A and B are shown apart, each in its own frame.
Chain A
């Protein structure tokens, strides 16, 4: 009862409601994209792209841009397109390219922050961007709007192009041979992935984004057999995990990102056991 009263008290504040809304929306989008990325063996792209975003943010800060999203977004989108489109036949294989880009951007970002930053608490700033911590509680109304619009676009793209996305993910060559513009759809997915990752940095930080992409998808794959049910169930699991994670973190005063990720891990473990029990492991 006391906990409920505490929750009610917190929900009187708009910034808490914003945090919950944004958290749920980002969880929804990342779970949809996560299914595709996991199946295309790009589970770690969230990590790589968020490090690119981190590097871009550091550079944006020293350039003293009024709104550094204008700089971060295009840089991350370009990185996403390069990584996802070259996939199979580039000179540097997908995973190696991802590793190089990921650590490279992290190093540049940290170096730039260290050398040029005017802030007194550099390690604090770095820690915040890596682990998300409090920035989700300081969202402005504009940021909430952007997040809502992007989530709506992601969901609409998934509903409208669902059959094409399935065909391209299941068998890219076959899709191409039968006249589907596979490259176009890959680019579309890459762009949306980049945008969602930049938005998700506020929620869980650079280091934990991968969890939002992979855990719901993998949980759903443990117990469902068709693509449609995996996509839908993964979205449900992700939304529930994020909502409860945020509420727990408010009540127990734990870091938001880490709480959501740990909850997702528990959900995954439960699904693995359930999958084994159902004989689908």
Chain B
């Protein structure tokens, strides 16, 4: 039984579907990349997977003992957080509240947070302010927060946006390592390089979606289309 199975899922707002006919499964140790053009419904799909909004149609079935709050996620950084006074420790600790009824942190919660801080290589930064960190360090902090709530699934929303190439490479290294340790990864991305790390691809495109293994995707028309669009956008941004 997979962690998440989407059956003919339609996502959108106010009962109007942005994307429909989405079918895919994610199980333990999978690495899924969700690609598609801007406005195709990737973010809406993510919010639906996180239970932040109801599906417009179809269903999401969770299995393998996955509870709804056990999807850790790495959001795109928001403006609010740019000047928020919070130490790395405080941010990571807040992740342990996932599914917990406790109002104060137990020793186990603290140990879990500290372990993740250490594993993500930000122990030296633990008392630093989140707002003073570099983009890559902030992403590691938010990853540590997500891992403090779950060790089953991580959902990453455009994780390398705004990172320099070496920080981006490091982030891919970390996610690969987590994936090898058995954490399922779902990554929404624009980055062609991300696809190399994945084993499955979901291409969201209105109602013409594609879901399959990376090799199947590489042989499909969608892949060519995606490459062309990304290159066009890239050129457009460069000129």
Contact B78 A225 (CB under 8 A): no
Given contacts A40-B80, A225-B87, A226-B86, contact A178 B97 (CB under 8 A): yes
A148-169 residues at the B interface, CB under 8 angstroms = 160-164, 166-167, 169
Residues of B within 8 A of A221 (CB): 83, 85
Bound complex: CA A41 to CA B83 (Å) = 11
B50 lies within 8 A of chain A by Cβ: yes
Contact B75 A173 (CB under 8 A): yes
Contact A180 B80 (CB under 8 A): no
A184 lies within 8 A of chain B by Cβ: no
Contact B132 A170 (CB under 8 A): no
A116 lies within 8 A of chain B by Cβ: no
Contact B103 A163 (CB under 8 A): yes
Bound complex: CA A39 to CA B73 (Å) = 22
B209 lies within 8 A of chain A by Cβ: no
Residue from B73, B81, B103, B127 in contact with A226 in the complex, judged by beta carbons closer than 8 Å: B127
User: Tally of A-B residue pairs with Cβ under 8 A?
Assistant: 86
Bound complex: CA A241 to CA B81 (Å) = 28
Residues of B within 8 A of A166 (CB): 86, 90, 94
Bound complex: CA A224 to CA B99 (Å) = 30
A93 lies within 8 A of chain B by Cβ: no
Contact B80 A160 (CB under 8 A): no
Interface 0/1 of B96-116, CB less than 8 Å to A: 011100011100000000000
Residues of B within 8 A of A227 (CB): 84-87, 90
Residues of B within 8 A of A176 (CB): 50-52
Bound complex: CA A169 to CA B97 (Å) = 14
A179 lies within 8 A of chain B by Cβ: yes
A66 lies within 8 A of chain B by Cβ: no
Residue from A41, A177, A228 in contact with B50 in the complex, judged by beta carbons closer than 8 Å: A177
Contact B85 A179 (CB under 8 A): no
B91 lies within 8 A of chain A by Cβ: yes
A174 lies within 8 A of chain B by Cβ: yes
Residues of B within 8 A of A41 (CB): 80
When C-beta atoms are compared, the residue in chain B nearest to A182 turns out to be B52
Given contacts A41-B80, A170-B86, A221-B85, contact A163 B94 (CB under 8 A): yes
Given contacts A166-B94, A170-B91, contact A161 B85 (CB under 8 A): no
A142 lies within 8 A of chain B by Cβ: no
Shortest C-beta distance, A174 to chain B (Å), equals 6
Given contacts A164-B103, A170-B91, A173-B75, contact A178 B128 (CB under 8 A): no
Shortest C-beta distance, B156 to chain A (Å), equals 13
Residue from A163, A167, A179 in contact with B104 in the complex, judged by beta carbons closer than 8 Å: A163
Residues of B within 8 A of A174 (CB): 73, 75, 145
Shortest C-beta distance, B124 to chain A (Å), equals 15
Residue from B47, B99, B129 in contact with A178 in the complex, judged by beta carbons closer than 8 Å: B99
Contact B127 A178 (CB under 8 A): no
A190 lies within 8 A of chain B by Cβ: no
Bound complex: CA A169 to CA B78 (Å) = 12
Contact A178 B98 (CB under 8 A): yes
Residues of B within 8 A of A280 (CB): 132
Extra contacts besides A225-B87, A226-B85 (4): CB < 8 Å? A160-B103, A164-B97, A173-B75, A226-B89
List 3 A-B pairs, minimum CB-CB distance, nearest first: A225-B129, A178-B98, A179-B69
Please name 20 pairs of A and B residues whose Cβ atoms are closer than 8 Å in the assembled complex, sorted by A. Answer: A40-B80, A166-B86, A170-B81, A170-B94, A171-B75, A171-B78, A171-B94, A175-B97, A176-B50, A176-B51, A177-B51, A178-B98, A179-B98, A224-B85, A226-B85, A226-B89, A226-B90, A226-B127, A228-B90, A280-B132
